[in-house]
């Protein structure tokens, strides 16, 4: 079965057209290569409100897996985890922990990622559950993190639909 996925790039500069989105296309390519259907990345400005709105929009559009890139650091406008927290019903901390472990093995800055992972739904307007994972904004971090996401995404989606443990 082909599940729908979505990528949301969170970046003030990319949203303003000052910088091309380099990380979102990496995530889209990995998702498509992993057997998911996925349109081009949506680019939104930093901030919890814009992240929350974008997440609800792609979920309402049928996305069963949502990957965000950017806004997971410690900068003043890095609020992707806060916007994500408003949407997810239950955290799946093992995914975020593994992404931080992997990122820290590549660069000490990986310890500064505050990304979350969790599940949502089913809720009003969203008939089936979905997995949301925050990745850092660098293309390298996205390329490193996507195999982690893809290694469990189908199982999570199947479990949300009532599937048995594989």
Structure tokens at 103: 């990122």
Report the domain count for the chain: 1
From residue 89, alpha-carbon distances to 12, 44, 46, 73, 105 in Å are 27, 22, 22, 22, 30
Q: What average pLDDT does the structure give for the chain?
A: 94
| Coil vs helix vs strand at 2 | coil
Does residue 139 belong to any structural domain of this protein?
yes
The pLDDT, as a whole number, for residue 165 is 63
Does residue 148 belong to any structural domain of this protein?
yes
Q: Residue 161 — pLDDT band, cuts 50, 70, 90?
A: confident
Does residue 82 belong to any structural domain of this protein?
yes
Domain of 69: which CATH number?
3.40.980.10
| Coil vs helix vs strand at 78 | coil
**Could you read off the pLDDT of 59-72 as tens digits, one per residue?**
999 999 999 999 99
Q: Respond yes or no on whether the N-terminal peptide bond of residue 122 is cis (omega within 30° of 0).
A: yes
Model-level pTM greater than 0.75?
yes
Does residue 165 belong to any structural domain of this protein?
no
Does residue 166 belong to any structural domain of this protein?
no
* Partners of 123 in the β-ladder: 126
């Amino acid at each position: 079965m082909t599940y729908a996925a979505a990528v949301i790039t969170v970046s003030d500069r990319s949203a303003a057209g000052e910088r091309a989105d380099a990380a979102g296309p990496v995530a889209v390519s990995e998702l498509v290569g992993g057997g998911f259907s996925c349109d081009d990345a949506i680019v939104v400005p930093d901030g919890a409100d814009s992240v929350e709105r974008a997440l609800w929009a792609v979920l309402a559009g049928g996305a069963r897996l949502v990957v965000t890139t950017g806004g997971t650091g410690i900068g003043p406008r890095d609020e992707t985890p806060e916007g994500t927290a408003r949407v997810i019903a239950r955290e799946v901390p093992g995914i975020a922990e593994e992404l931080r472990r992997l990122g820290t093995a590549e660069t000490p800055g990986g310890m500064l990622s505050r990304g979350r992972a969790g599940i949502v739904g089913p809720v009003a307007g969203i008939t089936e559950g979905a997995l949301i994972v925050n990745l850092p904004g660098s293309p390298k971090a996205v390329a490193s993190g996507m195999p982690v996401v893809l290694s469990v995404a189908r199982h999570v989606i199947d479990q949300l639909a009532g599937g048995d443990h594989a």
